[in-house]
Structure 1
């Protein structure tokens, strides 16, 4: 393969990586936005029943928002996982091209081994966040689901 063909292929791979990262960011932003609106609605509905923890409104609406929050997280997880998988695929392809033709390293962000390791660490940290955030949201919504019932029992 010629140097020109290799750089074109590397450009294509890097473009795919950027596109998948943008898609992942869009999906995460949508998830976080939906969760923030639901938390506001949840808090407002719970505070509307302040002091009356036995009321039907307090016992039904906040848990309903919690169920909706869990459902939205569960709906978002496959899209987030798919974007992460695609990014990993294109990263492997990028690494394969660079290992096949080391001269291409000059066309990447990580030109030496140390900067390459730093880049991999940053990518790993970003991947951890995007895979853990939905699980944290689910844990929080489970607690939010149980809170009105606990307030009813102990309040």
Structure 2
């Protein structure tokens, strides 16, 4: 049976951990730079995913409106009943597919912000590295600060999913009930 070999005293384990970190990063500033690069990289991934998602949704909205505006008397009723419902379903499915990628990027950004805040908490002189004012304000290093800036990306798939459900139900209702006919 395999065994995990551990040092006898926790103090030597901590010194081994600090030595390993020193070999990997060199200094707390190197570690902070690494965390900031990771946050920037993941934020750009999140922005790209959100942009691609919003672009796809805008094309779906245009196709939906075009489908609802069909005036061909021979197949207008059936077309405006079926096509907008399929487009609304496609909008819901694309929202469900976009959500895991957007949420994963958010979780990774959350992880790196946590690591950064722990570093800044454990190394109070990091903020005073360049001048007398702190490098990072409390708003930048708390969970509440950066999470507010990411809410748009995280909420967008859910908002569009509700939008497509309401729009699909409305298009079905006006075609079946059709008070004007």
TM-score, length of structure 2 as denominator length = 0.75
- The answer to whether residue 127 in structure 2 is matched with residue 130 in structure 1 is no
Contact preservation (8 Å) 1:49, 1:58: no
- The answer to whether residue 68 in structure 2 is matched with residue 46 in structure 1 is yes
Structure 1 residue 102: deviation in Å? Answer: 1.0
Contact preservation (8 Å) 2:129, 2:135: no
State the Cα RMSD in Å: 2.8
Structure 1 residue 64: deviation in Å? Answer: 0.7
How many matched pairs?
153
Aligned partner of 2:53 among 27, 31, 34: 31
Query: Where do 1:98-117 residues align within 5 Å?
Result: 98-106=120-128, 111=134, 115-117=137-139
- Pair 66,11 (structure 1): closer, same or farther in 2 beyond 3 Å: same
- Pair 147,34 (structure 1): closer, same or farther in 2 beyond 3 Å: same
Alpha-carbon distance between aligned partners in 1 of 2:128 and 2:53, rounded to the nearest angstrom: 37
- The answer to whether residue 100 in structure 2 is matched with residue 78 in structure 1 is yes
Contact preservation (8 Å) 1:23, 1:83: yes
Corresponding position of 1:154: 178
Structure 1 residue 116: deviation in Å? Answer: 2.1
Q: Determine which structure has greater relative contact order: mean sequence separation of CA pairs < 8 Å that are 6+ residues apart, divided by chain length.
A: 1
What SS class does the counterpart of residue 37 from structure 2 fall into? helix
Contact preservation (8 Å) 1:45, 1:58: yes
* Larger helix percent: 1
Listed as ranges, the gaps of 5+ residues in structure 1 are none
